[in-house]
């Protein structure tokens, strides 16, 4: 497969990129980001785009790929709804349309546990991500799926981590034992995305337990 990955300078995108670089079924990766990833690899190409909203529909540089792993995004902490909506909804939809949605491509969108599919809840970020998931599913992709991980454990090679992770890293073994239903490793998330892009999935929303199941399925092949 040839895949597009966004957000490689963030935690999720970087983790997915690292796994894709090593995966034998991924032959080419196009990183689309505002900044260079700082990585060099025979599989990796980079397309630096300061503003995804400026991308033209059916961008020629985005043609010929089998899947998009959309991992870009921002935290809602301290962000007003109009700004959060522009970054989370408007930017994602603009990027999806730049890909020329078609039945040969799979679009996987990383939203998060607690996303509100009804779009009517009290939590702002959950409503906005719910609308993003819902509207992506209306586009004529082969399949558009919302990935909803909760607490994520990075792989050792990762550099782009939120600052608070260095203070909570020691809690992962405890959380894995006491709260296994809220944790995925970045390896699991990446393997699950590759598995879905290759073989599809019967659900349009993929929760923590689905991610774990898909990653296990991928490892058994």
**Ranges of H-type helices in 52-116:** 81-85, 91-98
Cβ–Cβ < 8 Å for 39, 20: no
Indicate the pLDDT class of residue 145, thresholds 50, 70 and 90: very high
Q: How many CB atoms lie within 10 A of CB 135?
A: 15
Task: Express as a percent the part of the chain with pLDDT over 70.
Answer: 92
Asked whether residue 178 carries a pLDDT value surpassing 70, the answer given is: no
Asked whether residue 122 carries a pLDDT value surpassing 70, the answer given is: yes
Residue partners of 42: CB distance under 8 A and separation at least 6: none
Asked whether residue 163 carries a pLDDT value surpassing 90, the answer given is: no
Q: How far apart are alpha carbons 205 and 111 in whole angstroms?
A: 10
Q: What is the DSSP string of 170-187?
A: GGHHHHHHH-GGGEEEHH
Residue range 54-90, pLDDT digits in tens? 999 999 999 999 999 999 999 999 999 999 999 999 9
- pTM of the prediction? 0.93
Strand partners, 33: 48
């Amino acid at each position: 497969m040839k895949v597009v990955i966004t957000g490689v300078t963030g935690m999720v995108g970087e983790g997915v990129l690292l796994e894709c670089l090593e995966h034998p079924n991924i032959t080419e990766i196009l990183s689309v980001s505002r900044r260079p990833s700082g990585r060099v690899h025979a599989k990796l190409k980079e397309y630096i785009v300061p503003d995804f909203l400026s991308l033209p529909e059916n961008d020629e540089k985005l043609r010929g790929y089998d899947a998009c792993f959309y991992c870009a995004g921002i935290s809602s902490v301290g962000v007003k709804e109009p700004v959060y909506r522009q970054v989370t909804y408007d930017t994602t939809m603009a990027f999806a349309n730049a890909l020329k949605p078609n039945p040969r491509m799979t679009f996987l969108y990383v939203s998060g546990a607690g996303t509100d599919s009804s779009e009517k809840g009290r939590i702002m970020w959950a409503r906005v991500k719910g609308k993003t998931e819902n509207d992506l599913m209306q586009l004529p992709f082969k399949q558009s799926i919302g990935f909803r991980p909760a607490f994520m454990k990075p792989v050792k090679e990762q550099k782009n981590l939120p600052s608070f992770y260095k203070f909570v890293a020691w809690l992962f073994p405890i959380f894995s034992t006491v709260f296994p239903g809220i944790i995925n490793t970045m390896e699991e998330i990446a393997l699950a995305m590759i598995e879905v892009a290759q073989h599809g999935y019967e659900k349009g929303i993929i929760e923590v337990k689905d991610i774990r199941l898909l990653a296990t399925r991928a490892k058994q092949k």
